[in-house]
Amino acid sequence: MRFGPTTPILRIFDEAKAKEFYLNFLGFQVDWEHRFEPALPLYMQISRNGCVLHLSEHHGDCSPGAAMRIEAADLEALHAELTSKQYKYARPGIEEMPWGTRDMSVVDPFGNRLTFTTAIGT
């Protein structure tokens, strides 16, 4: 049995805030956007360097406050990039965890926590 990649769906409530956080701050790009009609909720795919996320304004897709771990090959470079942007809602730091990883967590405007992680020694 083989499984394919996992694509998490994160609940969002405001398209402008989502794009400010995910595109401007975290550096993701929009792959596609979908609405059933112009005034209906947004569902979109964003990605950055192999990490693919779905963001949804649809209340039935998922609950706010999700948590996920995203492997990052160069956590220090990502930390430096995010810190240099001086985003007024997040100033993440890197922590060494007792289970052998270095982690940097950020919380989006909707309560979802993204933890970028790398194994210590890599």
Sequence spans of domains, the chain? 9-56+64-119
In which order are the strands placed within the sheet that holds 51-56?
Answer: 9-11, 51-56, 43-48, 29-34
Looking only at the bridges linking them, the beta strands covering 51-56 and 43-48 are antiparallel
- pLDDT tens for 13-37 read 999 999 999 999 999 999 999 999 9
Residue whose C-alpha is closest to residue 42's, from 89, 110, 116: 110
- pLDDT tens for 43-77 read 999 999 999 999 999 988 888 899 999 999 999 99
CATH assignment of 9-56+64-119? 3.10.180.10
Q: Report the distance separating Cα 111 and Cα 105, nearest Å.
A: 12
Model confidence at 122, pLDDT cuts 50, 70, 90, reads: low
pTM of the model: 0.93
